[in-house]
Structure 1
Amino acid sequence: MKTRSRRQLIIGLGFTLLSTFSLSFSALAAAATTAGDNSMKAESETSIWKVSKDGDTVYIGGTIHILPVSEFPLPRQFTDIYQQSDTIVLEAELPEPTDITAQQKMMMGLSYQNGQTLKDTLSEETFTALDQYLSAFGSSANQLASFKPGFVTTMLVTMEAQRAQMAGEGVDAYFTQLAKRDSKDREYLESLDFQISMLAGLGEGEEEQFISETLATLPDLKSELKQTIKAWRAGDTEALNKLVIQTFKQEAPESYDDVFTKRNISWIPQIEAMFGDDDKEFVLVGAGHLVGEDNVLKLLEQKGYSIKQL
C-alpha cells in the first residue's frame, strides 16, 4: 500500500532534480512574464533570507524547480532583490536545448554503458506498468530502458506534471533568462558534470523500488505540488521541511546525504567567499536546501552569520 511518506519522497526528488534535466529533455521553459497576475496574493514572509556579517549582505532565495505559469508573477521580494543584485548565483548552469555537446554528455552520463538496461533490473510487473503509463504519452518503456532510474524517475514526474497542467518554467530558469536579458553576471555552485553524476547514481541498486513507487505515487503529484508551492510562496519552512525533507531523509538516507547534506556543506565556502566585496549577490537554490537539519542557512548561522527571513 502506498503511503504519504512515499509520496513525499517522490515529490522531493522532483523538486530537487528538475532544475537542469527537465528543461533540457522536455523543453519545459515557458514565457511566463505575461502569465496570470497573482499580485493580490497576501505576502508576509517568503522564501528569501538576508544573510549578513561585518556590514556585508548576501541574499539567499529558495526556489521551486518546476512552476506552472499560473504562479507568476513571483512573490514581489524575489523581483525586488533581483533588481538590486549585480550577480545571481545558481546551483548549476542550465544547458540550452540546442547545446549538442551538453545533450550528448547528459545522454552518456544518464544511460547504461555496459549492455545492461533498466529492464534487466525490474520485475516484469513493474516494467509492464511503466510501459502502460508511458503509452498515454505515445511512448514506451523500451524507449526509456537504456536510461538509469534517477533520470527515468525525473522524466515521469515531469510528464505527470505536464498532464496535470502543473508544468512550467522553474524559478531558476526564469531568473536565468532575466539575467541574460539584463546582462547580469551569473555564477554557479556546481558543474553540469556533478549534477549528471548525482542523478545517475540515484536509485542504483534499488531500481525496482525506485520505479514502482514512483508509478504508484504519480496520481498524487498534483495535490502535493500545490501544497509545496503554497508553502514556498509563504516561506513556510515547517511545511517545506515536512513536504520535501523529513521523509526523504527517512526513506532514502543515502540519497539524502548525496542530494542535500553533502551539497549544503560544499556550498558554504563558496557563499562565504561572496562576502567582503562590492558585488550584491542573489543566491538561488532549491527550497529544500534551506530547511531541515544541516540546511545552508543553519550552517551559515553556526559560522556567525546573521540570518533574517524577508
Structure 2
Amino acid sequence: MKRILPILLWIMVASVLIACQDENVAEPITFSDEQLEIALREEAGKASDEELYETDFDEIVEINLSELGIGDLSGLEVLDSLETLSLEDNEITDFSILTELENLEKVNVVGNPIDENEETQTLLEELNEKGIEVINTKPEIVGSPDGPGGFLWEVENGDTTVYLQGTIHIGIEDLYPLHEKIEEAYASSDVIVPEIDLTTLNPFELQDVMVELGTYQDGTTIKDHIPEELYNNVGATLEEIGIPLQLLEMYKPWILSSTIQQLMTEQLGYIHGVDEYFLNRAADDGKEIIALETAEEQFNIFAETSLEYQVQMLEESLIDLEIYKQDLDTLIGLYKEGDIDKLLAALTAEEDVDMTEEDQEFMEALNDNRNDGMAEDIMGFLEEDNGKTYFVIVGSLHYIMEPHIISILEENGYEVEHIH
C-alpha cells in the first residue's frame, strides 16, 4: 500500500502538471466587445461561465454577426479558419483585424459607420485587392417592367410629391420585388407613411392595450358570452392550428376572431405583407417613418362593436384552412394583376346584400372615417411643401372604396394621377 500511494500521488501530480502545460499552450481567450463574445460563445456552444479557447473556433468557416450592436472586433483573429463573415448593421469603425484572417474570402460590412472614414475605406479596398469580396453597399432592389402589383398614384404640390401605394397585409416572399414603378417610387422617397409603424411598436404597450380592450376582466371567459356550439367550433378550429382554447379564453370575440385569422395566415406562411416589406426596408435604409394611425385607434373600431356583431365576426373567422388558403391566393393574384375593379369586388360584399345599421356604422368607422383622417394628413404633407417625397402605404381598399382617399384629395382640388 505504501508503494502504491506514491504512484497515485505521481499520477495526480502529473495530471496537474499536464493540465498546467495545456493551460500554458492554450490560454483562455476573451473579447473586448460583450456582444461579440456572446455571439461567439453561442456559435461555439459555450456557456457564459465556461472558458473559451482558440480550438473552440477551429471548425468555424462561416458566421453571421449582423445586427448585434458590435463595436469592437478585437479577438476575432482567433477564427483563423473563417471564410465568410457578415458584420452587417453594427457599430464597427475599425476593421483592421480582418487582415489577420488568412482564409477570409467574403465579408459584409454594410450598415456600419464607415462612409466618412478614409482609413477604413482604404483598408477595405486593400482587402478587395487581395481577392477578398467586400460588400459595403446594399444591393439596389429593382422591380421589373412586368413585375407584380399596381395601385400606385401620385399627387404633387410645389416641390412636394406624395406617392399613394395600395397594399395588402398578407403576402409571400415570391411576391417581391414589385413592379419597377412601385420600387422606383419607394427608392425616390424621403419619408415612408404607413397606417401603423410596425418597426417601433412596443410589445409591452401593445399588450396593455390588447388586455384593456380585448379581454374579459370581470372573472368571465369567452365561454360565458357566446353560444355553446360556437364555443366548441372555436375550440376545434384552434385545435387544428395547434393552440388550446384555454390559452385564449380571456379574449373577447372580436380579438379572438382576429387572432384565429392571424394564426391561420402564419400557418400558411403568408406573413410577408406589402406594408412589412417596405417598412423593413425603410428601417434598413434609414428613411423617416411617419405613421398615420396607432394600434389603439384601430383596435377601438372593433372593440366598440356590439357583442352580437363580434359573435358574427367570430363565426365568419371559422373557415376551413384550405378554403382560407384559396381566398388568400385569390387576393394575392388580384393584387399582382393590379385590377382595381376586380380587387374591389373581391373585398366587398355584393351590392344586393342588405346591410344592417351596425354594418353601416362599422364600415363608416373602418373605411370612411379613417379615409378622411388619412387624407387630411396627406394634405398636410402637401401643404407643408417642404420639398420631400412621401411614400404612403395603406391598404388598397382605402384608395378604391368610396369615399376613398383619392376622391377626397380630388374634392379638395388636388390632381391625382394613377401611374400604375
Which bin holds the TM-score, normalised by the shorter protein?
A: 0.7 to 0.9
Q: Aligned residue for 2:368?
A: 261
Which structure 1 residue ranges, 5 or more long, are not aligned? 1-36
Q: Aligned residue for 1:51?
A: 155
Contact persistence 1:110–1:151 (CA under 8 A): yes
Instruction: Answer yes or no: is 1:110 the counterpart of 2:214.
Output: yes
Q: Aligned residue for 2:205?
A: 101
Distance between the aligned counterparts of 1:186 and 1:250, measured in 2?
40
Contact persistence 1:63–1:285 (CA under 8 A): yes
1:103-150 Cα shifts (integer Å, max 9, x gaps): 333333321233332222211111101101111222222322211222
1:28-62 Cα shifts (integer Å, max 9, x gaps): xxxxxxxxx99678359711111234564211001
Q: Aligned residue for 1:240?
A: 343
Q: Aligned residue for 2:67?
A: none
Instruction: Answer yes or no: is 1:152 the counterpart of 2:256.
Output: yes
**How is 1:1-310 mapped onto 2 (pairs within 5 angstroms)?**
42-43=146-147, 46-53=150-157, 56-94=160-198, 99-165=203-269, 167-202=270-305, 204-216=307-319, 219-247=322-350, 251=355, 252-275=359-382, 276-310=385-419
Contact persistence 1:131–1:140 (CA under 8 A): yes
Partner secondary structure for residue 318 of structure 2: helix
Which has the higher mean CA deviation after the structures are superposed, 229-238 or 286-295? Answer: 229-238
Which has the higher mean CA deviation after the structures are superposed, 291-300 or 246-255? Answer: 246-255
Q: TM-score, normalised by structure 1?
A: 0.79
Distance between the aligned counterparts of 1:45 and 1:133, measured in 2?
33
Distance between the aligned counterparts of 2:151 and 2:208, measured in 1?
35
Partner secondary structure for residue 185 of structure 2: helix
Q: TM-score, normalised by structure 2?
A: 0.59
* Distance of aligned partners of 1:144 and 1:73 in 2 relative to their CA distance in 1, 3 Å threshold: same
Which has the higher mean CA deviation after the structures are superposed, 242-251 or 65-74? Answer: 242-251
Greater C-alpha radius of gyration: 2
Which has the higher mean CA deviation after the structures are superposed, 262-271 or 250-259? Answer: 250-259
Q: Greater RCO between the two (CA within 8 Å, min separation 6)?
A: 1
Q: Aligned residue for 1:28?
A: none
Higher helix share: 1
**CA RMSD of the aligned region, Å?**
2.7
Partner secondary structure for residue 219 of structure 2: coil
Distance between the aligned counterparts of 1:207 and 1:183, measured in 2?
40
* Distance of aligned partners of 1:106 and 1:77 in 2 relative to their CA distance in 1, 3 Å threshold: farther
Distance between the aligned counterparts of 1:45 and 1:212, measured in 2?
32
Distance between the aligned counterparts of 1:42 and 1:135, measured in 2?
42
Which has the higher mean CA deviation after the structures are superposed, 226-235 or 120-129? Answer: 226-235
1:1-39 Cα shifts (integer Å, max 9, x gaps): xxxxxxxxxxxxxxxxxxxxxxxxxxxxxxxxxxxx996
Distance between the aligned counterparts of 2:257 and 2:145, measured in 1?
33
Aligned length: 273
Contact persistence 1:62–1:287 (CA under 8 A): yes
Contact persistence 2:192–2:287 (CA under 8 A): yes
Give identity over the alignment, percent.
Answer: 26
Which structure 2 residue ranges, 5 or more long, are not aligned? 1-140
1:159-210 Cα shifts (integer Å, max 9, x gaps): 2223334x22211122111111111110011123212322323563333322
Contact persistence 1:48–1:61 (CA under 8 A): yes
Distance between the aligned counterparts of 1:205 and 1:191, measured in 2?
26
* Distance of aligned partners of 1:119 and 1:158 in 2 relative to their CA distance in 1, 3 Å threshold: same
